[in-house]
Chain A
């Protein structure tokens, strides 16, 4: 089952494991599959691993496209 909702990174340890906040719950996660991760980033989780980092710039772009849609309705 894919978890569509991103989780916020709250702790990264030296061995590349750490914790995320997923809908208010703290979960242990392995960050070994992605690079350049820092506390405060949003990640996509799957089976105990972070598999992708969320690009917040892209979120903004999609939202502005959606706003265009509404204005040109």
Chain B
């Protein structure tokens, strides 16, 4: 019932009309970045990118796809583990298995004797797998933002309490505010507003974005995943531009509280600490990733298997995912788009992931 209202055509038309009036007053075409990959999907699925473009707004996709921002060296490390280590179960979320690297993908790699890969829907499933397979090591390749991280933290706490020591985590965990800072600081592109991710914000609240409004004077709003949410969010950003009053507002009030979810936040920092991390396309960003705390290092796959993950691995030749993630190019500007790269034979994670911008453009047009 809620969903239907937030997809209601009459509402959509009414907000669009307001948006068009405001654009006339603003007098230029603002560039707005949708940070979250699920926003990208909504915008394409409901044809909003074109509607907005015709109204004078350019939407740019941001770095909000965890599978996409995970650099190839981490995927390659998981492929090495699976193919070189006997009796090892490599568990991960579905789309992670299809990310292509110079070593192939998890899907195409041949596991060592007694080893196999397993697609899971929740990190907690890994614990049952580990309990049922005491003679094997279970490694969870966990890619995610603040939305997913609490569920992984919970899983680690349970493994510790229940002494499930044949379980470990290969961390591809990313924090959303640091890459946004990297993007605005680099000044490679001029962004006039941010649609902040709805579900990351249910966890972190609004405060972590406030530096963008205060220091960089860029408007923004936290918004949901229905077409009406997206348009109300844009309407809000235009108000902030018109009033020269950059803020972080919450349009998605039905799910997001200003303070976020303190219980989940506490759980995250009970288990993890921040580290400098290498992102696809964005490079090394200070304090933008997470690693397990020292006292939980027995669950750290990097340590357990003495993995040497060096940030050297490049994207496959001809793939410009890195530039797509920064909003520097839109997917069709990549020379491989739709030619040598498609969902059936992807050259980069942005064409693989359900949150990837290249897949959104390919699937729904633009």
Q: Which residues of A contact B (CB under 8 A)?
A: 1-2, 4-6, 30, 32-35, 42, 44, 46-49, 51-52, 54-56, 58-59, 61-63, 66, 69-70, 73
Q: Which chain A residue lies CB-closest to B198?
A: A2
- Name the A residues within 8 Å of B151 (CB-CB): 30, 33, 46-49
Of the stretches B254-262, B302-310, B334-342, the one at the interface is B254-262
- Name the B residues within 8 Å of A73 (CB-CB): 14, 17
For the complex, give the distance between the alpha carbons of A50 and B327 in Å. 31
- Name the A residues within 8 Å of B199 (CB-CB): 2, 44, 46, 51-52
Contact B147 A51 (CB under 8 A): yes
Among A33, A42, A47, A54, contact of B123 (Cβ-Cβ < 8 Å): A47
| Most chain A Cβ neighbours within 10 Å, of B11, B354, B355 | B11
| Most chain B Cβ neighbours within 10 Å, of A2, A5, A49 | A2
B226 within 8 A of A: yes
Interface residues of B, dominant DSSP: helix
For the complex, give the distance between the alpha carbons of A5 and B2 in Å. 8
For the complex, give the distance between the alpha carbons of A2 and B226 in Å. 11
Among B18, B121, B147, contact of A69 (Cβ-Cβ < 8 Å): B18
Q: A30-B151, A46-B199 are in contact. List 7 more A-B contacts (CB 8 A).
A: A2-B36, A33-B150, A33-B154, A47-B147, A49-B151, A52-B199, A63-B5
Q: Which chain A residue lies CB-closest to B12?
A: A66
For the complex, give the distance between the alpha carbons of A3 and B31 in Å. 26
- Report the 6 A-B pairs with minimum CB-CB distance, sorted nearest first: A48-B122, A4-B225, A52-B202, A2-B38, A58-B253, A58-B254
- Name the B residues within 8 Å of A32 (CB-CB): 154
Could you tell me which residues of chain B, from 8 to 47, have a CB within 8 Å of some CB in chain A? 8, 10-11, 14-15, 17-18, 36-38, 41-42
Among A44, A48, A56, contact of B202 (Cβ-Cβ < 8 Å): A44
Q: Which residues of B contact A (CB under 8 A)?
A: 2-3, 5, 8, 10-11, 14-15, 17-18, 36-38, 41-42, 93, 121-125, 144, 147-148, 150-151, 154, 197-199, 202-203, 224-226, 228, 232, 253-256, 261, 263-264, 267, 354-355
- Name the B residues within 8 Å of A48 (CB-CB): 121-125, 151
Contact A47 B2 (CB under 8 A): no
Q: Which chain A residue lies CB-closest to B200?
A: A2
- On whether A4 and B14 interact (CB within 8 A), knowing A47-B144, A58-B254, the answer reads no
For the complex, give the distance between the alpha carbons of A62 and B224 in Å. 12
- Name the A residues within 8 Å of B203 (CB-CB): 51
For the complex, give the distance between the alpha carbons of A49 and B143 in Å. 16
A19 CB to nearest B CB, Å: 14
- Name the A residues within 8 Å of B5 (CB-CB): 63, 66
Q: Which chain B residue lies CB-closest to A65?
A: B232
Contact B255 A44 (CB under 8 A): yes
- Name the B residues within 8 Å of A61 (CB-CB): 253
Contact B11 A52 (CB under 8 A): no
- Name the B residues within 8 Å of A42 (CB-CB): 2
Among A1, A2, A46, A54, contact of B254 (Cβ-Cβ < 8 Å): A54
A31 CB to nearest B CB, Å: 11
Q: Which chain B residue lies CB-closest to A35?
A: B263
For the complex, give the distance between the alpha carbons of A55 and B258 in Å. 13
- On whether A33 and B264 interact (CB within 8 A), knowing A4-B225, A44-B255, the answer reads yes
A26 CB to nearest B CB, Å: 14
Contact B38 A1 (CB under 8 A): yes
For the complex, give the distance between the alpha carbons of A4 and B6 in Å. 11
Q: Which chain B residue lies CB-closest to A4?
A: B225
For the complex, give the distance between the alpha carbons of A49 and B146 in Å. 13
For the complex, give the distance between the alpha carbons of A19 and B9 in Å. 33
For the complex, give the distance between the alpha carbons of A33 and B262 in Å. 9
Contact B3 A34 (CB under 8 A): no
Q: Which chain A residue lies CB-closest to B355?
A: A1
